[in-house]
Amino acid sequence: MLGSVRFAAIAALCTLTFSASLCYAQTQDRRVPSSQAELRLSYAPIVQRVQPAVVNVYAAKTVQVRNPFLDDPIFRRFFGAPGQQPEQMQRSLGSGVMVDASGLVVTNNHVIEGADQVKVSLADKREYEAEIVLKDSRTDLAVLRLKDTKEKFTTLDFANSDELLVGDVVLAIGNPFGVGQTVTHGIISALARTQVGITDYQFFIQTDAAINPGNSGGALVDMTGRLAGINTAIFSRSGGSQGIGFAIPANMVRVVVASAKSGGKAVKRPWLGARLQAVTPEIAETLGLKLPSGALVANVAPNSPASRAGLKLSDLIVAIDGQAIDDPNAFDYRFATRPLGGSAQIDVQRGGKAVKLTVALETAPDTDRDEIVLTARSPFQGARVANISPAVADELHLDAGAEGVVVTDLADDATAASVGFQKGDIILAVNNEKITRTSDLDKASKTGTRVWRITLVRGGQQINVTLGG
């Protein structure tokens, strides 16, 4: 009786707003659990299976507390010499995932960057010292190995992240705020996010599963209990979760882990040898395209895989191995996750016609890099520089034909960073002396001049700078 009265009320309400038949159909789409078994549906079996493979990562580094007055010799009498300044231990907290039974853990590079000590804590509270096997800043991933253990650990298998769909349910497991291992759940909100600006390879899984500080490096798990991605960042105005988190897809994680297992100190990836640019609405209109999508070829290096395959300036790449390419970031990700040694089929639009090209999957030559850190008192002090090889150009997204000496890294407290040099700056000349090799720049930095006139290229633009000695 009560059920019929309830239905009559719903039908009456529907008549006032929609048709009664439509509202009846909507009520049939919902139902209460029909059995005790349905009331007990839970993610617990998945969590119990994967939780032992998710670990906490603790990193620590010793830093010297530097007093800015030490730059003045008068104040040194009161504050002491630099070596006498107190040291401070900086600690960071993150999460990680066991990906090999021998004790191999993958986490975010930013969790362990610059660390002197790294410890890994398992779900059962046991702690191990860990060594850093491989760091890859381009993907923000790092691989650790537990020390002094012969135990076989629980691991997570990799999912094929290309098979994920928006709306799939996922679990995020990590150690947010250091409170202990925590499980949150949500759905995949978006795929192939390329405008995030976190790493070189921008092709993130977006999820609304709660991710907070400390979750970095933790697992994003699908409903089969496999690793769908590594949680790496959140979008937040408050510092806490606001339902927008990003994870590195498992297929990219797999490439980094494979390099670590093979004993490599750097990740080996295929090299295209071409610079790509996004298709703007204006470019699309000029090319007669219906949609502003694809990756436009802006430069091709001689003797590169792209050149040998027949890729030409102004070609529009629209697919690789049958997978559509929306922008250069999508191509970079797809190409980087292809296995070395084989080939990839690239679909190109050229002059309104479809062209298929076969590109060899090989690494970029890295001969004559000659990477050094400049230590002489100069504006370049603390900068790491290298000769531009094809591998260096690929790493720093320089023009394929770029030549000279480039800044590859800067220490945070370096003079070079404080005066404004940036990673990727190409140094062309110092005090009217042409710079073609790192040895030239090393020599120029030791001249002890009082005025420094420097010519460099940044973002394709030549800049002239004058600095005091």
pTM of the model: 0.75
Confidence at residue 9, expressed as pLDDT on a 0 to 100 scale: 42
Confidence at residue 226, expressed as pLDDT on a 0 to 100 scale: 94
Catalytic pick among 92, 95, 110, 121: 110
Confidence at residue 263, expressed as pLDDT on a 0 to 100 scale: 83
Confidence at residue 17, expressed as pLDDT on a 0 to 100 scale: 42
Rg (CA), the chain: 27
Confidence at residue 230, expressed as pLDDT on a 0 to 100 scale: 92
Which tokens in the block code for residue 304? 């590169």
Local confidence pLDDT in tens for the 469 residues of the chain: 334 434 444 444 444 444 445 444 444 556 777 887 777 778 888 999 999 999 999 988 765 555 555 555 544 445 555 555 555 556 778 899 999 999 999 999 988 888 888 999 998 889 999 999 999 888 889 999 999 888 899 999 999 998 989 989 999 998 877 777 888 988 998 887 766 666 666 778 888 888 877 788 889 999 999 999 999 876 655 566 566 888 999 999 999 999 899 887 788 889 998 889 999 999 988 888 888 999 999 888 888 999 999 999 999 999 999 999 988 989 988 999 998 888 999 999 998 899 999 999 998 888 888 899 998 888 899 999 999 988 888 888 787 677 889 999 888 778 888 888 988 999 999 998 899 999 999 998 888 788 899 999 988 888 888 887 6
Q: Are 56 and 108 in contact (CB under 8 A)?
A: no
4 is catalytic: no
Catalytic pick among 216, 304, 378, 445: 216
Confidence at residue 89, expressed as pLDDT on a 0 to 100 scale: 56
Torsion, Cα 146 213 92 114, to 10 degrees, reads 80
Catalytic pick among 121, 136, 140, 222: 140
Distance CA 334, CA 317 (A): 12
397 is catalytic: no
